[in-house]
C-alpha cells in the first residue's frame, strides 16, 4: 500500500530509508524527518525494539508513550514499497523485530522463512479487531499477522467540475467516451477494477475472465477521455486543479485533498472494489520477540488504534477504536465500507497470485496497456 500521508506537501520529494529515534525527532505532518545515527542494538536485551515500517505511518506520540511506559527505546527504519522491504530483509540486512508488510506479501515472507508465528497469549487485545478482518485468506487464523491499517480503492471527483450520477465503475468502463479520467499506475488495481465491474473476483485465475477484463481495458484506454495512468498524489493534484472528471485512487490518498477543498470527494463503486491491508508481523530473527509482541498488543488498544488512524488518515480494522476516531474520519463513507462488503464479495483483498499462466496473463495485460 502506498503511503500518501499529507502527500500534497511531499510531491516531488523522494523519501530515503533512514533509521531514526522517533522520540528524538518531533514529527511535522507532511514533512520528511532527518535521519539520526542508528543506535546499537544488543540482541535479546529486552530494552530495544526495531520496527521496519512505511514512512509517516505511526503517530510519534504513540511511540514516545510506549518508550516511557516500558522503559525501552524504539527505533524506526522506513521503506517506501513492499519490494524494498523484502529486498532488505532477504538480503540479510539489519535485524528488525517488527515489519509492516501488505497482506499480499505475507505468504511470500512465510515461504522465505522471514516470519515467526505469533504468540496469541501475548496479544489479548487481538479481540479488538473486527471479525471481518480476522482469519483472512492471506493469513488463515492470523498465524503470522495482525491487521494494522487498510485502504480501499475508490472513484474520486471534484464537484466543482463534475458530479457523478452514481458511484459506479460504469463511469469509466461503460459507453461514456468524453469524461476525462485517470487510472492508477498499478496493474492489480486496474485489472482488479475491470474484473469487479464484470462481476468477477479481483484475484481470479480464470483465463476466460482475464481475457474479458483485457478486452474491456483495451476499449477503456482507447477512449478519448483517458488521461493515462498516475499515482495517488498526481491524481489528487489534477482533481484539485479541476483538470479531470474522475480518478481511480486509494481512499486515503484523497482525504487530505478533501480537507483542502471540500468539493473533492471519493466514493466506493457499487460493483465493489479492492482493498489492501497492511499488517504487523514479528520477524523470524527478532532480537526481542517478547517486546515485539508487547508493542503490537499496545497498538491494538482502542485509544492507540484510533490515534494512529487520526494521524495517518487510513482506516482502522480495530472495531474498539471506531468510536474514538475524529469526526472527519467517521463521516467519510468511503473510509467506512459496509461491514457486509467484507463477507459478500464486494471487497476483495488483493491476493498473491499463483505462478504460471494466470500470473503471465496479468503481466501481459498490463504490458499491453502501458504500451498503448
115 domain-assigned? yes
Same domain for 188 and 304, yes or no, is no
Instruction: Give residue 313's pLDDT.
Output: 87
Phi and psi at residue 206, to the nearest 5°: -75, 120
In whole angstroms, give the CA distance from residue 345 to residue 105: 21
Q: Which residues of the chain have pLDDT under 50?
A: 2-42
**Nearest by Cα to 155 from 22, 299, 273, 294:** 273
In whole angstroms, give the CA distance from residue 166 to residue 320: 32
Name residues whose C-beta falls within 8 Å of residue 171's C-beta, 6 or more positions apart in sequence. 155, 164, 179, 181, 246
Q: What letters, b where the CB count within 10 A reaches 16 and e where it falls short, cover 72-105? A: bbbbbbbbeebeebbebbeeeeeebbbbbbbbbb
Largest CA distance in the chain: 63
Write out pLDDT tens, residues 225-280. 999 999 888 999 999 999 999 999 988 888 878 878 989 999 999 999 998 899 99
Task: At 207, list the grid cell.
Answer: 483465463
Instruction: Give residue 228's pLDDT.
Output: 96
Task: At 168, list the grid cell.
Answer: 459506479
Same domain for 177 and 258, yes or no, is yes
Same domain for 93 and 232, yes or no, is no
Same domain for 54 and 136, yes or no, is yes
Write out pLDDT tens, residues 171-183. 999 999 999 999 9
In whole angstroms, give the CA distance from residue 121 to residue 144: 14
Name residues whose C-beta falls within 8 Å of residue 335's C-beta, 6 or more positions apart in sequence. 152, 251, 252, 255, 315, 329
Same domain for 52 and 123, yes or no, is yes
Residue 140, domain extent: 7-150+277-330
Same domain for 84 and 106, yes or no, is yes
If one counts every other C-beta atom within 10 angstroms of the C-beta of residue 346, the result is 19
In whole angstroms, give the CA distance from residue 121 to residue 297: 10
**Nearest by Cα to 148 from 296, 330, 292:** 296
Report whether 252 contacts 314 (CB < 8 A): yes
Same domain for 224 and 350, yes or no, is yes
In whole angstroms, give the CA distance from residue 369 to residue 111: 32
Tally of structural domains, the chain: 2
CATH number for 234: 3.40.190.10
Same domain for 239 and 258, yes or no, is yes
Same domain for 231 and 89, yes or no, is no
20 domain-assigned? yes
199 domain-assigned? yes
CA end-to-end distance (rounded Å), the chain: 26
The residue from 298, 314, 330 where one domain ends is 330
Same domain for 54 and 129, yes or no, is yes
176 domain-assigned? yes
DSSP at 23: G
Same domain for 297 and 283, yes or no, is yes
Same domain for 168 and 23, yes or no, is no
In whole angstroms, give the CA distance from residue 303 to residue 312: 14
185 domain-assigned? yes
Q: What letters, b where the CB count within 10 A reaches 16 and e where it falls short, cover 106-140? A: bbebbeeebbbebeeeebebbebbbebbeebebbe
In whole angstroms, give the CA distance from residue 143 to residue 126: 12
Instruction: Give residue 43's pLDDT.
Output: 60
111 domain-assigned? yes
If one counts every other C-beta atom within 10 angstroms of the C-beta of residue 27, the result is 16
3-state secondary structure of 44: coil
DSSP at 331: T
1 domain-assigned? no
**Nearest by Cα to 189 from 164, 172, 166:** 172
2 domain-assigned? no
Instruction: Give residue 1's pLDDT.
Output: 59
3-state secondary structure of 318: strand
Amino acid at each position: 500500500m502506498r503511503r500518501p500521508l499529507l502527500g500534497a506537501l511531499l510531491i516531488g520529494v523522494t523519501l530515503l530509508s533512514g533509521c531514526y529515534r522517533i522520540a528524538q525527532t518531533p514529527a511535522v505532518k507532511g514533512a520528511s524527518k532527518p535521519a539520526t545515527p542508528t543506535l546499537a542494538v544488543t540482541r535479546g536485551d529486552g530494552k530495544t525494539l526495531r520496527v521496519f515500517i512505511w514512512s509517516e505511518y505511526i503517530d510519534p506520540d504513540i511511540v514516545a508513550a510506549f518508550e516511557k511506559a516500558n522503559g525501552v527505546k524504539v527505533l524506526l527504519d522506513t521503506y517506501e514499497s513492499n519490494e524494498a522491504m523484502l529486498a532488505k530483509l532477504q538480503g540479510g540486512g539489519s535485524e528488525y523485530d517488527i515489519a509492516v508488510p501488505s497482506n499480499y506479501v505475507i505468504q511470500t515472507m512465510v515461504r522465505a522463512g522471514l516470519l515467526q508465528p505469533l504468540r496469541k497469549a501475548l496479544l489479548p487485545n487481538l479481540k479488538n479487531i473486527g471479525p471481518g478482518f480476522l482469519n483472512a485468506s492471506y493469513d488463515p487464523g492470523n498465524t503470522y499477522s495482525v491487521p494494522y491499517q487498510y485502504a480501499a480503492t475508490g472513484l474520486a471527483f471534484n464537484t466543482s467540475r463534475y458530479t457523478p450520477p452514481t458511484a459506479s465503475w460504469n463511469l469509466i468502463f461503460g459507453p461514456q467516451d468524453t469524461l476525462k479520467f485517470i487510472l492508477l499506475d498499478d496493474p492489480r488495481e486496474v485489472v482488479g477494477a475491470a474484473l469487479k465491474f464484470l462481476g468477477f473476483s479481483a484475484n481470479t485465475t480464470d483465463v476466460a475472465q482475464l481475457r474479458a477484463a483485457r478486452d474491456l481495458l483495451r476499449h477503456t484506454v482507447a477512449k478519448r477521455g483517458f488521461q493515462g495512468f498516475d499515482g495517488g498524489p498526481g491524481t489528487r493534484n489534477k482533481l484539485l486543479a479541476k483538470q479531470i472528471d474522475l480518478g481511480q485512487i486509494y481512499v486515503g490518498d484523497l482525504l487530505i485533498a478533501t480537507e483542502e477543498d471540500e468539493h473533492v470527494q471519493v466514493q466506493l463503486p457499487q460493483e465493489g472494489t479492492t482493498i489492501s491491508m497492511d499488517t504487523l508481523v514479528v520477524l523470524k530473527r527478532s532480537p526481542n520477540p517478547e517486546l515485539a509482541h508487547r508493542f503490537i498488543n499496545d497498538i491494538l488498544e482502542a485509544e492507540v488504534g484510533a490515534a494512529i488512524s487520526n494521524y495517518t488518515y487510513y482506516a482502522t480494522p480495530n472495531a474498539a477504536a471506531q468510536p474514538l476516531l475524529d469526526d472527519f474520519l467517521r463521516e467519510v463513507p468511503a473510509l467506512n465500507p459496509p461491514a457486509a462488503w467484507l463477507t459478500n464479495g464486494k471487497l476483495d483483498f488483493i491476493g498473491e497470485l499463483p505462478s504460471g499462466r494466470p500470473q503471465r496473463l496479468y503481466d501481459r495485460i498490463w504490458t499491453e496497456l502501458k504500451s498503448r
